């Protein structure tokens, strides 16, 4: 068999990475197959729906909104200050980026016959200046954040709680977003070890009913299979099983 014949695969398998996972809880274990999924439409739709439902729970006048304000009024002041600061930090960072932008990236002046060496020196100087500017921005942001933190500490508790509320709601919504996404991904990603075409869980309720330690092991196993931007692809791959085993 030629090398080209050995490396040919079904296109539906390309981009699918999988591995055997031993999930343990106490003195018990189960071995499953976990693989990446292709089309995430279901997971995306479900998590956006869940996020919107969670947001509606905190609509003005609702029990959750009132309970949240009561909790913020009773929470440690330093925690509420940090929540309020978290809601405003992006504005501080945006302002600093406008005030302290990076210098314009240089272009080689070919009309003046600038040499590659001279241009490389200018680029190196530009990159050094960008690093300096990044440091100046970090210092300026830290200075502004510290000043705003002092202002927030001196505010009446009710006003402070109102400023912190959007950030707390945002955290709740994003937590729900991540939880639902993980559940729907695991529903499709976890397979029977002896039959990788068969999903391990029959429906989403089984995933939701998992012990938290079990769900976390599966979630981490899946994360290890999904390379981040710039990462190498995982060594374990469905593409390496082109000798006839199922996916």
pLDDT digits (tens, 9 = 90+) for 191-226: 999 999 899 999 999 999 999 999 999 999 998 887
Strand order in the sheet with 28-35: 18-25, 28-35, 190-192, 195-199
pLDDT digits (tens, 9 = 90+) for 143-197: 999 999 999 999 999 999 999 999 999 999 999 988 998 899 999 999 999 999 8
Chain centre distance of CA 26: 30
> Residue 138: how many CA atoms within 13 Å on its side-chain side?
6
**What's the token pair of residue 77?**
């002041």
228 confidence band (pLDDT: 50, 70, 90)? low
What value does the mean pLDDT take over residues 80-92?
93
**What's the token pair of residue 74?**
């009773």
Q: What are phi and psi of 45, to 5 degrees?
A: -65, -45
Q: Are 139 and 147 in contact (CB under 8 A)?
A: no
Alpha helices in the chain (DSSP H): 3-7, 41-57, 63-74, 77-99, 116-153, 157-189, 204-208, 212-225
Tell me, yes or no, if the pTM score tops 0.85. Answer: no
- Residue 42: name the closest of 169, 196, 199 by CA: 199
The pLDDT assigned to 227 comes to 60
The Cα–Cα gap between 116 and 44 comes to: 47
Q: Buried b vs exposed e over 207-241: b needs ≥16 C-beta within 10 Å?
A: beebeeeebebbbebbeebeeeeeeeeeebbbbeb
Instruction: Work out the mean pLDDT of the chain and round it to a whole number.
Output: 86
């Amino acid at each position: 068999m030629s090398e080209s014949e050995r490396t040919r695969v079904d296109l539906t398998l390309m981009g699918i990475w999988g591995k055997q996972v031993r999930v343990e809880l106490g003195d018990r274990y189960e071995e499953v197959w976990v693989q990446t999924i292709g089309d995430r439409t279901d997971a995306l739709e479900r998590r956006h729906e869940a996020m919107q439902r969670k947001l509606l729970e905190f609509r003005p006048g609702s029990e959750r909104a009132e309970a949240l304000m009561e909790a913020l009024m009773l929470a440690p002041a330093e925690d509420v200050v940090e929540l309020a600061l978290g809601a405003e930090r992006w504005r501080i960072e945006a302002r600093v980026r406008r005030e302290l932008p990076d210098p314009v990236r240089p272009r080689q002046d070919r009309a003046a016959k600038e040499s590659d060496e001279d241009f490389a020196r200018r680029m190196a100087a530009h990159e050094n200046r960008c690093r300096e500017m990044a440091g100046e921005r970090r210092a300026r942001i830290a200075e502004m954040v510290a000043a705003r933190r002092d202002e927030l500490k001196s505010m009446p508790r009710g006003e402070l709680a109102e400023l912190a509320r959007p950030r707390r709601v945002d955290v709740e919504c994003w937590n729900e977003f991540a939880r639902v996404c993980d559940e729907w991904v695991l529903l499709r990603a976890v397979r029977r070890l002896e039959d990788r075409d068969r999903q391990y869980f029959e429906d989403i309720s089984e995933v939701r009913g998992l012990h938290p330690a079990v769900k976390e092991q599966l979630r981490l196993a899946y994360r290890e299979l999904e390379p981040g931007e710039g990462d190498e692809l995982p060594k374990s791959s469905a593409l390496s099983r082109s000798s006839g085993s199922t996916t």
